[in-house]
Each structure stands twice: as C-alpha cells, then as structure tokens.
Amino acid sequence: MAEAERIIGTPDTPDAAGGGKERPDAEGTPAGEPGTDPAAAAGTSGTGEPEATAGRPRGRRRIAVLFAVAAFAYALDLISKLIVVAKLEHHPPIEIIGDWLKFEAIRNAGAAFGFGEAFTVIFTMIAAAVIVVIARLARKLYSLPWAIALGLLLGGALGNLTDRIFRAPGVFEGAVVDFIAPKHFAVFNLADSAIVCGGVLIVLLSFRGLDPDGTVHKD
C-alpha cells in the first residue's frame, strides 16, 4: 500500500501543496497579491506621493509659462506705447484699413476702452489687486491654459498700471496711452487686448470645468 501511494502520488492537500502556494498573511489575504501592497492600500505611488498627483506636472514649469506670457505681453505693450508717444502723439491719425481701423494717440484717464474716467485711482487699485491675486494663485498653478490666461491678465494689468504710476498728471492718476481706433468702437491698446483675451480664455476654461490646479470637475 505504501509502495502504491509512492508511485501514484498523494492527493493535493493544503499541507502537501504548501510549497507551490503562498501562505495567507495575518488577515487571510495572500501576501503575493497586488491588493496587499502597502503603497497601493494607502492610495500612494511607489514614490510616496498620492496617486492623484503622482503624474501631475510640476508647478514650477507652469509658473514659468505664466511669467513668460506676462513679460511678453507687458514688453509688447510698453514698446508700442513708447513708439506711439514718440511718433504718433500730436500728429494726424494713421489709417490702417481706411476708416475702419486707425492708429490714433489718445490719453485715457479711465478704465479699458475709455470707460469711467472719473475713477482713475479706483481702477489703479483694482489693477494692483488683480496683480496680487494672480501672484498668489501662481503657487497652485498646474494648468498650462490657465497659465497662459493669467499671464495675459498679468501682463495687461502691469502695462496699464505702469501708465497709471509714471504718466501725467501724477502718481496713480496717470492717463493710459491708447492708440488702436476701430470705427464705431472705443480706442484701446495692447494691454487692454491682453486683458480681454485672458478674461475670455478664463471663461472658456471655467465652462469646461478645468481648474487652475489642473483638475477637471463636472457640475
């Protein structure tokens, strides 16, 4: 009988198959199954970061984009105003597309597009507040589209704020240089254009549910 069992083999039992299967851990789950990985159970990646943020781009790259766009918009606005003041102010308007589009130097004491000339100081304070808010928001900026939008807002706000501070009639009361004059529309400048483009982009991103930190939400 013992010889027959040796030839045929013994049935598979937990004890007999112990060499081919892993023993369960203290909670009854096989130690080799992926569900018992401590990092997975804690909801973290192998690097110790949460899985939701492990693949998220670094914020520093998005901040660099924000300031690069802002610097470009600001420089473009500043250079254009210097040229307009030097070459176009106190001169006849330059027709670009007949009567439909002209370059005409105008000093604007109001907000964008010439509105609210009686509230120059208030608009200056609002522009400064916008810059501070954008700078604080930049620390949590992971979204590239949001970086571009906020960069346009920041560059435009800085461009007009520079005029408010350094141009006549005085500090925080300076008149902004406007020169783009479409027919049947207010005269504006490149800083105004950057602010409007940034604002429109922010509205579109908000409708799509994209937040500045790169997450997407659905209402």
**Where in the sequence numbering do the catalytic residues fall?**
178, 192
Task: Tell me the C-alpha to C-alpha distance, in Å, between residue 112 and each of 137, 168, 177, 187, 192.
Answer: 23, 17, 11, 9, 6
Residue 183 CA to residue 191 CA, distance in Å, equals 19
Characterize 205-214 residue by residue with b for buried, 16 or more Cβ atoms within 10 angstroms of its Cβ, and e for exposed. beeeebebeb
Q: List the helix and strand counts (H, then E) for the chain.
A: 7, 3
Angle ∠(212,151,77) on CA atoms, nearest 5: 165
